[in-house]
Amino acid sequence: MRTTLLGSVFAAAVVVAGATGPAVAAWPEKPVTVVVPFNPGGTSDQVARNFQIAIEENELLPQPVTIVNVGGHYSIGSRRVMEAQPDGYEFLLIHIALMGGEGTGVNDFGYRDFEPVASTGEFCLAPMVRKDSGFDSLEALLAKAKEEPDTLIFGANLGAINHMAGIMLQNAMPGAEFRFVQIGGGTANFTALTGSQTNATVLSGAEVVNFTLDENGDPSDESQIKPLAYTGGERHPDLADLPTAKELGFDVEFCVQSWWFAPKGTPQEAIDGFADALEAASASDRITGFYEERLFGDVFLRGDELQTSLDATWDRILPVAEQAAQK
């Protein structure tokens, strides 16, 4: 009878595992990996590492979280997670690039090929040029792109945030056209811009702080680049001298949330457990301080609210992505 009972329990476990994905007992039983599909130093990397520290400092998980940067095009690291074993131990941290890649056709997969876990924080962007570029305003930059279309080189990660933002900026002045080239994420674009390989790009508020301000929060004399505008709905207090694009007469507002995904079929226990840790970390001094320092808005979404937000964002970004596919 004991043998029959054990056999029945095992059979039930197999049925459950087959219906919901691999079974997970007392998640997590081993270290958790978060793949950041960008080089170290950019915004997504900063987000991941601060959450990693917050989870460790507050003992929110019994196992460590390891950050793995996968450089090159963001599709490489994203695909790695999509194709990973859905056992609850590998997650992806990305942003609207995932939708941009699908909408432009750069990727043959998208956000619906993952299990959504959470959305954390929100950051806005700033179009950037070199200080010696001769462009002292966003209007001057766009006017040049209109006067001599397809000559100003705009550094981007094709299909990603900076590409989408560049399309929105040029659309704000009919006839303006940038020449978009594949560079990469924030750190790579900072290097390309300072090295005169590109004429313009966009960086996140966090990257503006990181690359253009000194330790006191004042403009650094050593920085070779400068922001021309801010894509938030209103000026950020820490960049009070930087006008919004809308203030300057350009209908551009573009802010981005960080999305955490798991491979399709990941057990719900792992999704919920990691979302719980991220939500608790979001309230920690580490993350609230990071948000304040790096110009993030405090946002946390999960479950149905997250799914609704993802679907609405896809509806908004698809037309821009389709246009980007032509550039």
pLDDT value at position 15?
39
User: Tokens 């070199």 correspond to what residue?
Assistant: 130
Look at residue 25 and tell me whether its pLDDT is greater than 90. Answer: no
pLDDT value at position 327?
61
Nearest to 25 by CA among 319, 269, 211, 217: 269
- The CB density around residue 98, as the number of other CB atoms within 10 Å, is 28
SS3 25: coil
Q: Mean pLDDT in the chain?
A: 89
pLDDT value at position 159?
76
Look at residue 10 and tell me whether its pLDDT is greater than 50. Answer: no
pLDDT value at position 39?
86
How far apart, in Å, are the Cα atoms of 283 and each of 97, 124, 259, 277, 279?
A: 26, 21, 17, 10, 7
- The CB density around residue 237, as the number of other CB atoms within 10 Å, is 8
Look at residue 274 and tell me whether its pLDDT is greater than 50. Answer: yes
How many helices and strands, by DSSP H and E, does the chain display? Answer: 11, 10
Q: What is the pLDDT of residues 193-232, one digit of tens each?
A: 999 999 999 998 878 888 887 777 677 778 899 999 999 9
Give CA–CA dist 323/327, Å, rounded. 7
- Identity at 297, one-letter amino acid code: G
Q: What is the pLDDT of residues 229-262, one digit of tens each?
A: 999 999 988 888 899 999 999 999 999 999 999 9
Backbone angles phi, psi at 321, to 5 degrees: -65, -40
Q: What is the pLDDT of residues 284-320, one digit of tens each?
A: 999 999 999 888 999 999 999 999 999 999 998 999 9
Instruction: Please check whether residue 166 is in contact with residue 156, taking contact to mean a CB–CB distance below 8 angstroms.
Output: yes
Token pair listed for 203: 């960086």
Look at residue 22 and tell me whether its pLDDT is greater than 80. Answer: no
Instruction: Please check whether residue 97 is in contact with residue 17, taking contact to mean a CB–CB distance below 8 angstroms.
Output: no
pLDDT value at position 12?
38
Q: Residues near 77 by Cβ (< 8 Å), separated by ≥ 6?
A: 35, 36, 37, 38, 68, 69, 70, 92
DSSP 51-81: HHHHHHHTT-SSS-EEEEE--SSHHHHHHHH
**Alpha helices, DSSP H, located in the chain:** 2-20, 43-57, 74-82, 97-104, 138-147, 161-171, 186-194, 205-212, 268-282, 285-293, 303-324
Look at residue 7 and tell me whether its pLDDT is greater than 60. Answer: no
pLDDT value at position 293?
85
Length of the chain: 327
End-to-end CA distance of the chain: 70
pLDDT value at position 11?
37
Residue with more model confidence, 314 or 10: 314
pLDDT value at position 237?
86
Helices 74-82, 97-104: axis angle to 10 degrees equals 100
Per-residue pLDDT band at 325 (split at 50, 70, 90): confident
Look at residue 280 and tell me whether its pLDDT is greater than 60. Answer: yes
Cis omega (within 30 of 0) for bond into 62? no
User: Tokens 């006839």 correspond to what residue?
Assistant: 175
Give CA–CA dist 68/151, Å, rounded. 36
SS3 264: coil
Token pair listed for 272: 């919920």
pLDDT value at position 247?
96
Per-residue pLDDT band at 139 (split at 50, 70, 90): very high
Q: What is the pLDDT of residues 35-93, one digit of tens each?
A: 999 889 888 999 999 999 999 999 999 999 999 999 888 999 999 999 999 999 999 99
pLDDT value at position 1?
37
**Nearest-5° angle of CA 57, CA 86, CA 48?**
30
Half-sphere exposure of 184 (CA within 13 A, CB side): 22
Taking only Cα atoms into account, the Rg of the chain, rounded to an integer number of angstroms, comes to 21
Q: Residues near 296 by Cβ (< 8 Å), separated by ≥ 6?
A: 121, 122, 123, 205, 206, 290
Give CA–CA dist 29/32, Å, rounded. 9
Domains of the chain plus CATH, in order, are 28-122+256-324 (3.40.190.150), 124-239 (3.40.190.10)
